[in-house]
Amino acid sequence: MTGPWKHWRRALVPVLAVFTALAAGFLLVTLTNGFEAARLAYSGLWAGAFGRWRALADSLVAATPYLLTGLAVTLGFRCGLFNIGAEGQLYVGALAAAAVGVHITVLPWAIHLPLTVLAGMAAGMAWGAFPGWLKARTGAHEVINTIMMNFIAIALVDVLVKGPLCDPASTIPRTANVAETARLPLLAPNTRLHAGFLLALLCAIGVWLLLTRLPLGFEIRAVGANPDAAQQAGIRVRRSYVLALGMSGAIAGLAGAGEVLGLNGNLPAAFSSGYGFDGIAVALLARANPIAVIPAALLWGALRNGAGLMQLRSGISVDLINIIQALVIMFVAADAIVRWLYRIKGESSDLVTLRGWGAQ
């Protein structure tokens, strides 16, 4: 294989992994609920995701947070860090955006919106940089600490949204609506597609530029490839950990801000949809390539968006999507299975090499 083919061949295993996971999901439903239910479920999934222009636009809306959290996890991976904390970073990002968006009302649009978005990113950045700093300082592993930060962020949002930030006029616990000057504009009339999707695309290009064209990105990749060698080469490894997790958190925080400013207009208490965790799957599916995150996130958005109609038409619970998602991760991560299944020749590539418990 030469030329452009070589490039596309790298996508072969992920595509087959998605196909295999979908097929396995179909088989599962056929076994538990019968073939007719499975057929209804999958046709519902398709119609819900792409059936009409509005459904398609909604799939793009749904893809937006996956795109951003996928990028956040990708950036961590490239530095050899596993950021499981995108969920918590997204939460605090949403919280900060909601707080600034609701409580500042005198600014013009051109200042208020950027300020609100930046507040969300800053909160996410702080939430991500803290475990990075702990790792750099004490060697505490980021996997556990980012998970702990998730729980703390979720509790924090819960207590604030049900307490001081709660809108007394609302029947469900949520914040008041953010000021109109802080809303992300809609991209197309009669849809929910908002400018956050464009921001997410820009972010993907930004991360790609950072990793491939900028010195800082080179340092991050060097640390990710081999921290000892990077240290020897004079790269400040600990600084890279803090920066990579901080930027990763900022992107996840943007995801949260986008949901508040673009989609909901406020921050409800039961806000979790596991975007941060799905971001891991998206990043793995994209093999930690920021541009490949775009199609991976679109697929995820479509699956999630179609899940509603799937459940409505067939009665199969949306948990099926979780199962498909886990299978995709497994098939991508253990690509030997897919290679064996489809008799693909060639070396299996190391997806990401994360290092044990960070004993250095």
Partner 1 sequence: MGRAVRAASLGAGFLALSGGAVAVAGSLLEGTARIGFGPAGSAVVPLRVAGIMCGVIAVIAAIGWFIGRGRGRNWYLGCGATAIVAFLITAAARGTSLDLTGLMAQSVRMATPIALGALAGILCERSGVINIAIEGMMLTGACAGFITATFARSSGIGVIAAVVAGGLMAALHALLTITHRTDQIVSGTAINILAVGITGFARRSLLLREGLPMVKILPTIHLPLLSQIPIVGPVLFSHQPIVFVSVALLVIIHIGLYYTPWGVRTRACGEHPRAADTVGIRVNRLRIINVIAGGLVAGLAGAWFSLETTGTFDDVMTSGKGFIALAAMIFGKWRPFGAFLGALLFGFADALQIKLQVLGIGIPYQILGMLPYLVTIIALTGLVGRAVPPAADGQPYISGE
Site residues (vs partner 1, CB under 8 A): 32-33, 82, 84, 134, 137-141, 143-145, 147-149, 151-152, 155-156, 158-159, 163, 277, 280-281, 284, 317, 319-327, 329-330, 333-334, 336-337, 350-357, 359
Gap between the Cα atoms of 360 and 354, Å rounded: 13
For residue 272, the minimal CB distance to partner 1 (Å) is 10
Least gap, CB of 57 to partner 1 (angstroms): 27
> Judged by CB, which is closer to partner 1: 32, or 170?
32
Please identify, using beta-carbon distances, which residue of 82 and 275 lies nearer to partner 1.
82
User: What is the smallest separation between the CB atom of 218 and partner 1, expressed in angstroms?
Assistant: 23
| CA distances to 22, 26, 29, 116 from 36, in Å | 16, 11, 9, 48
Backbone φ and ψ of 348, nearest 5°: -75, 140
CA 133-138-141 angle, to 5 degrees, is 75
- 219 neighbors 230 (Cβ within 8 angstroms): yes
Closest distance of CB 303 from partner 1, Å: 12
Distance CA 266, CA 353 (A): 39
| Closest CB to partner 1 among residues 83, 177 | 83
Cα Dmax for the chain: 64
| Distance from the Cα of residue 146 to its chain's centroid | 15
Q: By C-beta, is 202 or 336 nearer to partner 1?
A: 336
Distance of closest approach, residue 242 Cβ to partner 1, in angstroms: 14
Q: Rounded distance, CA 219 to CA 164, Å?
A: 42
The residue whose two tokens read 């991508």 is 332
Give the shortest CB-20-to-partner 1 separation in angstroms.
14
Buried/exposed code over 251-284 (b: 16+ C-beta within 10 A; e: otherwise): bbbbbbbbbbbbbbbbbbbebbeebbbbbbbbbb
Q: Which is nearer to partner 1, 69 or 116 (CB)?
A: 69
- For partner 1, the closer CB: 186 or 329: 329
